[in-house]
Amino acid sequence: MKHETPLLDQLETGPWPSFVSDLKQEAEKRAKNEEGTEFQIPVDVVDDLIGVLELSYKHGCTHWKHGGIVGVFGYGGGVIGRYCDQPEMFPGVAHFHTLRVNQPAGHFYTTKYLRELCDLWDFRGSGVTNMHGSTGDIIFIGTTTKQLEEIFYEMTHKLDQDLGGSGSNLRTPSDCIGQARCEFACYDTQDLCYELTQEYQDELHRPAFPYKFKFKFDGCPNCCVASIARADLSFIGTWRDDIKIDQEVVQAYMGGEIAPNGGAHKDRDWGPFDIQKEVIDRCPTKCMWMDGKELKIDNKECTRCMHCINVMPRALRIGNDRGVTILAGAKAPILDGAQMGSLLVPFMKVEPPYDEIKEKVIEPIWDWWMEEGKNRERLGELMKRQGFQKLLEVTGFDPDPRMIQEPRSNPYVFWKEEEVPGGWSRDINEFRKQHQR
Amino acid sequence: MAFISSGYNPDKPMEDRITDIGPRKYDEFYPPVIAKNKGKWLYHEYIRTGVYVHVAESGDEVYSIRCGGARLMTTSHIREICEIADKYCDGHVRWTTRNNVEFLVDGKDRVQPLIDDLESRKFSGGSYKFPIGGTGAGITNIIHTQGWLHCHTPATDASGPVKAVMDDLFEYFQSHKLPAHLRVSLACCLNMCGAVHCSDIAILGYHRKPPMLDHEYMDKMCEIPLAIAACPTGAIKPAKVELPNGKEVKSVSVNESRCMFCGNCYTMCPSMPLADQEGDGIVLMAGGKVSNRISAPKFSKVVVAFIPNEPPRWPTTVKTIRKMVEAYEQGANKYERLGEWAERIGWERFFEKCDLEFTHHLIDDFRDPAYFTWRQTSQFKF
């Protein structure tokens, strides 16, 4: 290896896959270059990446600077500039920019396509990736400014593939595995994710928003893609009819013939399955009971938390009248504390081409946020600043107790003049006829 | 290293330009058994940790073998994944939302040879390339950010602490013995690219020293108004400063008591670096969740205000996380998430059971929501 790495070497042992070992094999592969690749960035880029990381381990802090504005022509996002603050020691990573590559929904791949990505990235970049970044993109870590347009050209011309979002724009939407391989999914997360990504390409590539904006698509209230915690608009699958029950299979669970929760607890002895203790008593609305040998559910009282379905997936199934619940305004803590998504649309059907979602939810909210949002103000912060009523006003949804945790405990209602009979214009002289000074 | 053009002509950037085409469409990558049975799955079942079957209405089955992996992955490793997927999975593979790799096969007889192969592959240093696990009531992969490997504002590394913590928690990755699943996440600064704030256990990098001011270069390298505007707490003001040589320059001053150490100023202005070997370290948060199962989603709470960075293996962080995991394993009821357990027994009992010190840093004093976290009842436990 080009650099001594006594600290990083200690991360090669232990069972969990070692990123250090992986980086070292990549550095060796490039040095040997058995394929005869005409590397377009320094051959020893990965050696220098390991070297600068070792230096950070020694110094206890980073050696990367924020880049200037780099990108591809006509786009304001998709590339993040990155420069090393020790370029003489590590010339291979002096310029080391990131590209975000818009992942296919559901993160399914063919090996043919993955190899095409690898070929491009070995040739014009470092060969180091994230599979995947936090938002969901394929991340290409490390290339030079001159290669950015070349990569974009090859990606669009040969791979039929576009970049993802960064900066104050629509970030690359992402989804859970959904109906592709999950019996809980209440709508086609992949299709909605793909269609909205295509519909809003301009918003994704050309920053025109006050700050970042995220869509995430969870097929059911288990929320495997964490939309409720981090998406400005969170689409969570749900249903409004009855949970389907197969009573014979309920008996099979009760008789111990089928492991509860798909066997997710089987490495510990929790005793025999107890439907009363594990399902009925844990139901948050207490809307279930046993009637003799029959499991009963008062579906009207069910809040679809998924617990009973998770525990007995072969006996209980999601309803047939399916759609989404849409929540708005989630974000990580910076600045004024973290926000969960707040429920805006209790139920909406999800049907291609998804016009109702686009026209009644997304676009009115964007119009409001783009008009009123301050620089670097997320939707959730604007909602806090201007109030939930304003969100209702711009979207036109009727107020509904399903939107709140509880009613307000202060009576300080900002009544509007038109809500008060006779309005606010009064004659003080008329008043004085009845009331002396 | 001769430059090879892709065909792009820098003099005519719009020539043959293709833009706004978006991602590849999901369904061109579906394995046939997925394409055929999409939306018609009946149920799933774990065969063992990391291996599960989904059964469709048609009677078709798909077996998924889930493998942990560093999200930092080279093309050498991806090509090895491709080689395996070609050999056993007809050229298909997928990733999960938490950076695991999943190999899918459509028949039970195809499972064991794949498992044997995956378990036999190790990196040169001895770690598994494809450890199988990460399902059910256990601990799956840690989602994380870039850290010292590729970010300009981290207060800790990401890949290193993740490797150290997962090495220690590996038994839970490969078993279904916890009361419920336990999600661990890491973000290397408080901007939280990783949105770790709703995790059962969150590892968060944190700076503790305000930015240094490189006055001589401030006005040359930065748009000072942008640096001022970037501060979330309004701690930065314009200032005129006299350099040691007597020259007066335009710069900024920082009200250090208002600094929350986010590094947003440094993002705007390289003359305001704040990283520091002694100042930087790790905050541990606990008790968050995103699922709506049984109880509503919850934020993680700060339970350890600071642990110094201890590269290369962060032993105090690793040990403290293990204490929490073991206390949860012993104390929680079946199906109870870490945060639900903490709320049931009370936070005073949580600190006792986890053997964590309670310090003043853990009492919220940041703006209005702080009040709602103080205890407004006479009910507490001795």
- Beta-bridged to residue B211, according to DSSP, are none
Cis check: omega of the bond before A335, within 30 degrees of 0: yes
Q: Could you give the CA distance from residue A425 to residue A417 in angstroms, rounded to a whole number?
A: 9
Sign of CA pseudo-dihedral B89, B90, B95, B99 = positive
User: Looking at beta carbons, which residues of chain A come within 8 Å of B274?
Assistant: none
Per-residue confidence at B82, pLDDT binned at 50, 70, 90? very high
- Contact (Cβ atoms closer than 8 angstroms) between residue B134 and residue B103: no
Question: What angle, rounded to 10 degrees, do the helices at B347-354 and B315-331 form?
Answer: 120
**Cβ within 8 Å, pair B44-A183:** yes
Q: Which B residues, 171 through 230, put their C-beta within 8 Å of a C-beta on chain A?
A: 173, 175-178, 181, 187, 190-198, 229-230
Selection from A43, A71, A193, A414 nearest residue B22 by Cα: A193
Q: For position A124, what pLDDT does the model report? A: 98
In A407-418, which positions are buried (b, 16+ CB within 10 angstroms) versus exposed (e)?
eeeeeeeeeeee
pLDDT at B11 over 90: yes
- ipTM of predicted assembly, 2 dp: 0.97
Average pLDDT, chain B: 96
For chain B, say whether A75 makes contact (Cβ under 8 Å).
yes
Mutate to test the interface with B, among A5, A19, A122 (most CBs of B within 10 A): A19
The dihedral over CA atoms of A56, A62, A63, A66, expressed in degrees to the nearest 10, equals 160
Q: For position A285, what pLDDT does the model report? A: 98
pLDDT at A67 over 90: no
User: Looking at beta carbons, which residues of chain A come within 8 Å of B280?
Assistant: 60-61
Paired tokens of B295: 């109880």
Distances (CA, A) of A189 to A166, A177, A224: 22, 7, 12
Per-residue confidence at A69, pLDDT binned at 50, 70, 90? confident
Q: Which domains does chain A have, with CATH numbers?
A: 6-158 (3.30.70.2500), 174-237+325-403 (3.30.413.10), 244-317 (3.30.70.20)
**Cβ within 8 Å, pair A109-B92:** yes
For chain A, say whether B33 makes contact (Cβ under 8 Å).
no
Quickly tell me which residue has 């040998």 as its tokens: A293
Q: Could you give the CA distance from residue A328 to residue B22 in angstroms, rounded to a whole number?
A: 24
pLDDT above 70 covers a percentage of chain B that reads 100
Instruction: Return all residues near A70 (Cβ < 8 A) that are at least 6 apart.
Output: A79, A81, A97, A145, A148
Partner residue facing A111 (CB), from B20, B86, B131: B86
Paired tokens of A316: 């209980």
Q: For position A379, what pLDDT does the model report? A: 97
Instruction: Return all residues near B268 (Cβ < 8 A) that are at least 6 apart.
Output: B222, B223, B226, B227, B229, B230
Partner residue facing B78 (CB), from A43, A131, A305: A131
Q: For position A227, what pLDDT does the model report? A: 97
Q: For position B191, what pLDDT does the model report? A: 85
Percent helix / strand / coil, chain A, rounded to 5: 35, 15, 45
Q: For position A375, what pLDDT does the model report? A: 86
User: Looking at beta carbons, which residues of chain B come within 8 Å of A107?
Assistant: 94-97
Instruction: Give the distance, in angstroms, between the CA of residue B267 and the centroid of all CA atoms in the same chain.
Output: 21
Q: A288 in helix, strand or coil?
A: strand
A327-353 confidence digits (pLDDT tens): 999 998 877 788 999 999 999 999 999
Q: For position A337, what pLDDT does the model report? A: 80
* Mean pLDDT confidence for B165-185: 98
Q: For position B207, what pLDDT does the model report? A: 97
Distances (CA, A) of B157 to B129, B188, B204, B312: 21, 6, 10, 9
Q: Could you give the CA distance from residue B198 to residue A228 in angstroms, rounded to a whole number?
A: 10
Partner residue facing A19 (CB), from B28, B163, B275: B163
Pick from A65-79, A365-379, B285-299: least confident = A65-79
Per-residue confidence at B195, pLDDT binned at 50, 70, 90? confident
Question: Higher confidence at residue B230 or residue A419?
Answer: A419
Distances (CA, A) of A66 to A7, A81, A151, A291, B263: 25, 7, 21, 65, 11
For chain A, say whether B317 makes contact (Cβ under 8 Å).
no
Instruction: Give the distance, in angstroms, between the CA of residue A123 and the centroid of all CA atoms in the same chain.
Output: 31
Q: How distant is the Cα of A220 from the closest Cα of chain B, in angstroms?
A: 9
A132-162 confidence digits (pLDDT tens): 999 999 999 999 999 999 999 999 999 999 9
Identify the burial level of A85 via C-beta atoms within 10 angstroms of its C-beta, where 0-12 means exposed, 13-18 middle and 19 or more buried: middle
User: Looking at beta carbons, which residues of chain A come within 8 Å of B136?
Assistant: 261-266
Report phi then psi at B236, rounded to 5.
-105, 130
Q: Could you give the CA distance from residue A408 to residue A387 in angstroms, rounded to a whole number?
A: 12
Note the residue count of chain B.
382
Q: How distant is the Cα of B241 from the closest Cα of chain A, in angstroms?
A: 25
Q: For position A199, what pLDDT does the model report? A: 98
Average pLDDT, chain A: 96
Instruction: Return all residues near A205 (Cβ < 8 A) that are at least 6 apart.
Output: A74, A75, A76, A77, A78, A162, A163, A165, A169, B19, B20
Q: For position A53, what pLDDT does the model report? A: 98
Q: Which B residues, 93 through 152, put their C-beta within 8 Å of a C-beta on chain A?
A: 93-97, 99, 101, 104, 123-131, 135-137, 143, 145-152
Quickly tell me which residue has 């080689």 as its tokens: B83
User: Looking at beta carbons, which residues of chain B come within 8 Å of A172?
Assistant: 23
Q: Could you give the CA distance from residue A328 to residue B337 in angstroms, rounded to a whole number?
A: 25
Helix boundaries (H) for B129-198: 159-168, 170-173
Q: Could you give the CA distance from residue B57 to residue B329 in angstroms, rounded to a whole number?
A: 37
Per-residue confidence at B188, pLDDT binned at 50, 70, 90? very high
pLDDT at A279 over 80: yes
For chain B, say whether A288 makes contact (Cβ under 8 Å).
no
A389-419 confidence digits (pLDDT tens): 999 999 999 999 999 999 999 999 999 999 9
Q: Could you give the CA distance from residue A378 to residue B149 in angstroms, rounded to a whole number?
A: 28
CA-based R_g, chain A, Å: 28
User: Looking at beta carbons, which residues of chain B come within 8 Å of A122?
Assistant: 75
* Mean pLDDT confidence for A258-265: 97
B364-381 confidence digits (pLDDT tens): 998 878 999 999 999 999
Q: For position A306, what pLDDT does the model report? A: 98
B84-128 confidence digits (pLDDT tens): 999 999 999 999 999 999 999 999 999 999 999 999 999 999 999
A121-133 confidence digits (pLDDT tens): 999 999 999 999 9
pLDDT above 90 covers a percentage of chain A that reads 96
**Cβ within 8 Å, pair B29-A108:** yes
**Cβ within 8 Å, pair B145-A134:** yes
In A336-368, which positions are buried (b, 16+ CB within 10 angstroms) versus exposed (e)?
bbbbbbbbbbbebebeeebeebeebbbebbbeb
The residue type at B304: V
User: Looking at beta carbons, which residues of chain A come within 8 Å of B148?
Assistant: 53, 56-57, 61-64
Q: For position A248, what pLDDT does the model report? A: 98
Paired tokens of B233: 């707490």
User: Looking at beta carbons, which residues of chain A come within 8 Å of B190?
Assistant: 333-334
**Cβ within 8 Å, pair A335-B64:** no
